[in-house]
Amino acid sequence: MEEAAINWWAEITTMSPRCVYYFGPFETIDEARAAYPGYVKDLDGEGAKGIIIVIQRCQPKELTICEDSI
């Protein structure tokens, strides 16, 4: 039996506010790389600081995790 493919996601962490956002899913790493600058621009426009981007294969259970919701 074939395992389901795990999709690519853009994990974007911000230091202020302290949050982790997941954007996706994407079928390829190239799709994720092409899409994340738009998400970063939106977060920057909202005043987010200390933005870190990681493109990875994962299956996030939550799409937004903020320090105050932990």
pLDDT tens string, the chain, 70 residues long: the values are 445 679 999 999 999 999 999 999 999 999 999 999 999 999 999 999 999 999 999 999 999 999 875 4
Residues 6+ apart with CB under 8 A from 14: 20, 21, 43, 48, 49, 50, 51, 52
CA 2 – CA 14 distance, rounded (Å):
36
pLDDT, residue 69, reads 54
Q: How far apart are CA 26 and CA 31, in angstroms?
A: 6
Q: Is the pTM of this model over 0.95?
A: no
Whole-number Å distance between alpha carbons of 54 and 8: 10
Calpha distance 12→51 (Å, rounded): 7
